[in-house]
Structures are given as C-alpha cells and as structure tokens.
Amino acid sequence: MAARFHTVEPSRLAFGAWCHASERQCGEGDIRASYSADRIGMGQPIRKPFRFAGKLWICVGTGCSGAEAYLLVHPSLYGGTVRTYHERCRDGDRARADQAGFYDGIIVCHAVRELVMAGPPVMFVAGEEAQLSLF
C-alpha cells in the first residue's frame, strides 16, 4: 500500500513537555495530542481529533518522521463494514494486511457521538503547510 502524505507546520507535530505547575502536557501539537490508539484498543472515547482540510482526523501512530492518522466520518457516510476494534482484531493477519489499513471501519466515540475511522491511513509530516485555501 502506498502511503499518502500531507505536510503540516512542525508545531502541529510537536511532542511538548510535561508542565509540573499545571500538571498537564504543554506545547504539544494538535496532531500528536489526538493520539488515541491506546484508547481505541481499550474501548474508550478518543482524544480530541484534529482538523485538516476541513475534516476531522485521529492519530494512531507517532514517531520522529511524523504521525499516522485516519479520517473520521459519520457512520452513514462510510461505505464499508463498520465494526468495533475487538471485532477487527479477530481478523488477525488479514486485518493487518488490509489495503485500507487496520483501523479502517472501526467505530469510535467522541463527544457522545459515534464516528468511523476511514482508511487508508495518511502520514502527516513536518513541512510547509499548503496555503492554497488563501488564494
């Protein structure tokens, strides 16, 4: 599967640092802060999604080179089979080899509403963010 890439301002991918005074993470970019793979696997609501190109996204993997994310859509807009994370895990190697990505079709909860993760995954990497919407 060929990975798709979007470049974003480096600050959106910033790790941030723990602030002892406020007892929370400070300076973390919105993309990295949306990381929710741990919550998805536990059946918990996802963290706050980030916006890119007018759409909601959720991060499932981070590293030095960027962040892997899936588009979030309303269940009525998703054209495939919707399932839970645990149902997807039962597919084992077939799920991991899916061209649309492992998390494609997984239903998640955010702000008391259900959304579906739609693949294939996209890599967000640091660079100059597209400014085409300004013209």
| Mean of all residue pLDDT scores within the chain | 90
Distances from the Cα of 58 to the Cαs of 6, 87, 101, in angstroms?
14, 20, 14
Is the model's pTM score more than 0.85? yes
Distances from the Cα of 56 to the Cαs of 14, 24, 34, 47, 84, in angstroms?
19, 24, 10, 12, 19
Mean pLDDT of 127-134: 53
**pLDDT digits 0-9 by tens, 10-21:** 999 998 888 888
Asked whether 95 and 83 are in contact (CB, 8 A), the reply is no
pLDDT at residue number 118: 98
Mean pLDDT of 104-120: 96
